[in-house]
A and B are shown apart, each in its own frame.
Chain A
Amino acid sequence: MPPVASGAGRSYAIAAMDQPATRTDPANSSGHTHIAFDDGITLECGTPLRRHTVAYRTYGTLNADRSNAVLVCHALTGDQYVAEPHPITGKPGWWDTVVGPGRPVDTTRFFVICPNVLGGCMGSTGPLSNRELPDGTVIDEPWGTEFPPVTIRDMVRAQKRLIEYLGIDRLFAVLGGSMGGMQVLQWAALYPDAVFAALPIATASYHSAQNIAFHEVGRQAIFADPDWQNGQYWRSGRIPARGLAVARMCAHITYLSEEALTRKFGRRLQNAPKDSTEAISLFGEMFEVESYLRHQGSTFVQRFDANSYLTITRAMDYFDLGADCGGDLATAFKGSRTRFLLASFTSDWLFPTTQSRSVARALNRAGANVSFVEFPTDKGHDAFLLEEPDFHRALAGFLRGCAVHAGLETGE
């Protein structure tokens, strides 16, 4: 299985909501560390990909017996830049409070791997990659909406290839929040012997009807943008920035909580930007929360591809690990020797504690070793990404306990 370098990248003009069009290159594989596998992967939908690329970042050093590897799985709009500045936005890594030297996932002790998911737009194979025809020839045009539907399991299988390529038989830990947590559960179910510890955070074993509903609103916002052009927006060079931004705004509300919104913004007003072409300037003023959401939307479209958003939201919607195992989630974990930590947050209504608790109970039914904590916070689903000292202490302590059991280190 000789891995080959690949450069399946593409660039579009980006017209963000309030900004003049700028040129960025959100998904050029050649700009990201990556590995291309040319022996193919058959997706759950039945479509074979003859070659696929996994973009990834690593931090820390793999020890001599290759036993200190930790895989971090990113969420819907995350990417592999977990603990370093983002190459497009320049913002700090999305989980640099959790991953780094001296952090709960301590990169001086662990070798941390974070891949971009299959279907993503930061270098891994996805709708931005050059399209593969059924006969295997690759044409100089992106997949776009022709990209086959992928599942969380497909993402995990692609990641397994990366782990094997890196020479790792067993991961010390796999962790991630939200969709990252779905991947963690899938990892533990699919490759139980390759996962010593699993940390599914603020997640669920299936995507709820309410969550699918919010995703559908986002997708419809993208479809409703005239610049979407049936997903072939590379032809005109105009991306569906408005639609994607609205999708992001809608989703962002679900990541917060009423309490957090009230605390951060209340009913405060501010002047509408004078140069704004938006209808909101009709009022001359806007609520701070509106301004905040518009900012979230406009910065998002600079780094994310609309077709990727459609592909990945769909993968989340399809996720139902219990149904995949004949209806009983416990079956997925029967006989598992993996040590689990489930964590949820009180104000998270997108992936509420009841969801984590039902996973914990399924793990109990399977006889697995489970820790389960709910952390009090008003920050909603986003809490898993933010400064939550109790959560971070629990992560660190759990990993240290696991390290003792794995023989990575001794108790004091």
Chain B
Amino acid sequence: MSTLDPVRFLTKNMRVDLALIAGMIAPGTRVLDIGCGDGALIGHLFQTKSCDARGIEIDMDEVTRAVAHGLPVMHGDADIDLAHYPDSAFDYVVLSRALQAVERPRAVLRQMLRIGTRAIVSFPNFGHWLVRWQLLSTGRMPMTEAWDRPWHETPNIHPCTIRDFFVLCEEEGYVVERWLAADDGGRRRPWRRLSRMANLFGEQGLFLLRHR
């Protein structure tokens, strides 16, 4: 007989950017985490903020792990499954480091702000100086800590920069309530008001959006 896994509410190993995301979420709210992996964020939100936090994950092994840890996670695909949630079902819909990997980022964002009052989006910044430098100096696709797979096998099919994302929000009519740039470990970088600097030195961007 297998030993029973304890219900795990991960905080120790939680990626630091998840801690930044958690910092944007009010206690007691309804949260959907898209691409939740093993459910680290939703476990943390339930335990520390009494949130009704749920997850969708496309990798079945991660889903199995999350459910075995007592976390409400369903197998699903951001490109397909968001359409099945009712309007305003959540206070926050989170997409952490996955925007660049979905097939239709614009449609996914629309769904997020349909089913949630607010959307929290983080993504690796393709405008980072190292990425720019590698492309300029070698003429080949950059390989960095954040962009660590060769072009032919990367799941990151829609890379974008922090400035690109600002433009998209403008086009779609989303209000950027908060934003910040962080290094790859998720530590906050100090270019809060200077988006051009953030776009050059931030390894990832983190945005809190709502409808206008």
A327 at the interface (CB under 8 A from B): no
Do B68 and A393 touch across chains, with their CB atoms under 8 A apart?
yes
Residues of B within 8 A of A339 (CB): 72
Q: CB distance A374 to B75 under 8 Å?
A: yes
| Chain B nearest CB, measured from A124 CB (Å) | 31
Asked if A392 lies at the interface with its beta carbon under 8 angstroms from chain B, I say yes
A104, A361, A401 — most chain B CB neighbours (10 Å) = A401
| Nearest CB of chain A from residue B81's CB, rounded to whole Å | 7
Binds B, one of A133-141, A186-194, A309-317, A363-371: A363-371
Q: What are the residues of chain A within 8 A of B167 when measuring CB–CB?
A: none
Please, which residue of chain B has its CB at the minimum distance from the CB of A389? B2
Q: Are A392 and B67 in contact (CB under 8 A)?
A: no
Q: Are A394 and B86 in contact (CB under 8 A)?
A: no
**How long is the Cα–Cα vector from A175 to B48 in the complex, in angstroms?**
30
Is the C-beta of A103 less than 8 angstroms from some C-beta in chain B? yes
Query: Contacting B70 at CB < 8 Å: which of A360, A361, A365, A401?
Result: A401
Closest to A356 in B: B75
Contact indicator B72/A371 (Cβ below 8 Å):
yes
The verdict on A255 contacting chain B, using a C-beta distance below 8 Å, is no
Q: Confirm or deny: B134 has a beta carbon within 8 angstroms of a beta carbon on chain A.
A: no
CB of B106, distance to nearest CB on chain A (Å): 22
Give Cα A389–Cα B71 distance, bound, in whole angstroms.
Answer: 18
Q: What sequence of 0s and 1s flags, for each residue 330-362 of chain A, a beta carbon within 8 Å of any chain B beta carbon?
A: 000000000101100000000000000100111
- Whether the Cβ atoms of A370 and B86 lie closer than 8 Å is no
> A162 an interface residue at 8 Å Cβ cutoff?
no
Q: Does A402 contact B (CB under 8 A)?
A: yes
Q: Which residue of A lies closest to B52 (CB)?
A: A369
Q: A361-B81, A373-B60 are in contact. Are A102 and B1 (CB under 8 A)?
A: yes
Q: Tell me which residues from 132 to 185 in chain A have a Cβ below 8 Å from any Cβ of chain B.
A: none
Residue of chain A at shortest CB distance from B85: A364
CA distance A362 to B74 in the complex (A): 13
Q: Does A273 sit at the interface, judged by CB under 8 A?
A: no
Known contacts A339-B72, A360-B74; A400 and B67 CB within 8 A of each other: no
Q: Chain A residues in contact with chain B, CB under 8 A?
A: 102-104, 106, 339, 341-342, 357, 360-362, 364-367, 369-376, 389-390, 392-394, 396-398, 400-402, 404, 411-412
Residues of B within 8 A of A (CB): 1-2, 4-9, 47, 52, 54, 60, 63-64, 66-76, 81, 84-86, 89
